[in-house]
Amino acid sequence: MNKQHDISSVLTENRVFAPSKKFAAKAIVSSAKNLDKIRKAAEKNPVAFWEQCAAALQWDKKWKSALIWNYPFAQWFAGGKINASVNCLDRHLSSYRKNKAAIIWEGEPGDQRTLTYGQLHAEVCRAANVLKKFGIGKGDTVAIYMGMIPEAVIAMLACARIGAVHNVVFGGFSSDALRDRMLDMKAKLLVTQDGAFRRGTSVNLKDAADKAVAECPDITSVIVVRRSGENIQMCAGRDYWWGEVMKSATAINKPESLSAEHPLFALYTSGSTGKPKGILHTTGGYLTQVNFTSRIIFDLNDDDIYFCTADIGWVTGHSYVVYGPLSNGATVFMYEGAPNFPDAGRFWDMIERHRITILYTAPTAIRAFMKWGDSYVLKHDLSSLRLLGSVGEPINPEAWMWYRAVVGKNNCPIVDTWWQTETGAIMIAPIPGVVPTKPGSGTLPLPGIIADAVRRDGTSCEQNEGGYLVIKHPWPAMLRTIVGDDERYRKTYWSEFPPNENGEGGWYFTGDGARRDKDGYFWIIGRVDDVVNVSGHRLGTAEIESALVSHTTVAEAAVITRPDEIKGNALVAFVTLKSGADVPALHELREILRNHVAKEIGHIAKPDEIRFSEQLPKTRSGKIMRRLLREIVAEGKTSGDTTALEDFSVLEKLRATEEE
């Protein structure tokens, strides 16, 4: 095999943290021996394992076949009938949970609302009846373009109740992005709001919605939630106020009994080029896996107050704000606004006031908290927290340790989760009562998930050898296709490791590089697109970035390459410094950071160029858009899809950034 296809993994991390005896004693899963037994049985027969998980849900009709696999298309629980809204709401109403808080919500200005399961059920039934009144039925698509307010969750569950497919579009996206998604999905109705609060100001969503709808002939009705009091235009005969139409709707609605494979939602992810991909998820398998993973990974107890900071417009908001926690009868805390309004202590203030017990957030947010300084955390009582989670991208060990020590006071286990929009649910993560954790590792695949790190030829990598992360067996929450484009689905996810004549292969390629250590733990190296070739070595940028962030002055880093006549490629690092850090002159700091990387992981990974920047270009979910950095370095400009970019002014500042 040609060595150029190998991925070098050069980061080492030897710290291990066993679950505390106090946490393990009360954990849902508290026996390592039992977990090992479950893992082995699930590896031997993953389908039987997922059938056991599915039995925890309320089915109208049991399935006839747990898995029909026609590579690369899956059907899970075929013949079964189920409703996601019923599993999130109705089945809790016959117990004390009817009067238990389902959602505790806080707006950015400080206003608060609490909805019990009984109240949320009534609102969802009303909204379902409103949708039906507007002609929405089974299989129709409803677009939802909103901020983090309870009505967004109500609209999603109302769609699920009547069998409509929801397409949630992040409220920060442009009118063009909304238009493209509604056209691709052939959406018939849009639910939006007048404006959303963000960092103390109101962002007018209705104006953007109007521009998009003007180019979407299939949209016949727009329902508008009054939130900010924006002065907006209402189009007679098309636009209706949510409060008005809900007022006349009854709180009784008979849910549709839906096929397990009935589409539940589509979410769009940006490709590196071309139009965004509509990832389609169905009902029974998706609900099975998000229900199981929410309970087992977050160790959800009845008295927990669970705060996932993800926006409703992302898959994390779908799986771990709505469907996973609510199907378990949990209390979900929702927050509307920015983490640094009115100051950088907002999250910690809310955790203290609401006595939040579980926090699930992104490494990008954690690094931002580090940059803002420990004082914002330390002035608040966070003793209610008992578990911390990480989601969205690999977390560097330095941020992991800060999260554990400063936020968790060394008392909270950290569940570092790996998954994707495409996987629908968490795939690799520690089960907190029994699995020892290592800073920066997602640890082990969950029972029922068959994952591996392989070479280009499909052979499994040796211990600590970098390779390509693949999933070798279908899983319930997997995407079913790309909306309207089965061929793109095949090519994007299933063409790298197709079945061979020996019956091997046919694996889902995640697009990520990974290695496994001596304990079988997975370490995500980063997107294969972001693996760089330097002097014949293929290095994962995530490891180089992690080494940079481990320096006391660095808050965040992104590493890309530019062409180099000698090396083939030269490493260019974009670095953001911590606020208040004791920083020498920048030309001195560059050399200090280069040497620091060399010391941490070797001279081969030493950046050739370091550029300092106040901010990095990120998606609205917090992921660094390295493609844009590559374009800036190579061409001095950007092209391609930028609809997911949070702050366009960052690009102009970066174009002006040159090494002194």
Question: What was the pLDDT predicted at 3?
Answer: 38
CA 175 to CA 41: how far, in whole Å? 49
Residues 232 and 381 reside in one and the same domain: yes
Collect all residues with Cβ–Cβ distance below 8 Å to 650 and sequence separation of at least 6: 613, 615, 616, 617, 618
Domain boundary residue among 396, 424, 449? 449
Q: Is 439 inside any structural domain?
A: yes
Q: What beta strand segments (E) does 283-407 contain?
A: 305-308, 331-335, 358-361, 387-390
Other Cβ atoms within 10 Å of 67 Cβ, number: 19
Element (H, E) at 89: none
Q: Is 464 inside any structural domain?
A: no
Q: Is 430 inside any structural domain?
A: yes
Q: Is 541 inside any structural domain?
A: no
Integer angstrom CA distances of residue 246 from 123, 154, 241, 348: 8, 12, 9, 35
| Beta-bridge partner residues of 240 | 223
Count how many domains the chain has: 2
Question: What was the pLDDT predicted at 6?
Answer: 60
Residues 437 and 565 reside in one and the same domain: no
Q: Is 173 inside any structural domain?
A: yes
CATH number at residue 562: 3.30.300.30
CA 300 to CA 321: how far, in whole Å? 13
459-506 pLDDT tens trace: 999 999 989 999 999 999 999 999 999 999 999 999 999 998 877 889
Q: Is 558 inside any structural domain?
A: yes
Q: Is 498 inside any structural domain?
A: no
Domain boundary residue among 449, 480, 502? 449
Residues 433 and 556 reside in one and the same domain: no
CATH number at residue 265: 3.40.50.12780
Residues 66 and 183 reside in one and the same domain: yes
Length of the chain: 660
Domain boundary residue among 449, 481, 496? 449
Domain that holds residue 35: 21-449
DSSP string, 310-328: --TTSHHHIIIIIIHHHHT
- Both tokens assigned to 112: 């608060």
Question: What was the pLDDT predicted at 659?
Answer: 41
CA 487 to CA 133: how far, in whole Å? 37
Question: What was the pLDDT predicted at 393?
Answer: 81
The C-alpha torsion from 529 through 576 and 619 to 480, rounded to 10°, is 40
Question: What was the pLDDT predicted at 108?
Answer: 97
Q: Is 177 inside any structural domain?
A: yes
CA 489 to CA 74: how far, in whole Å? 13
Give the chain's residues under pLDDT 70: 1-12, 270-274, 529-540, 564-568, 602-604, 620-622, 635-660
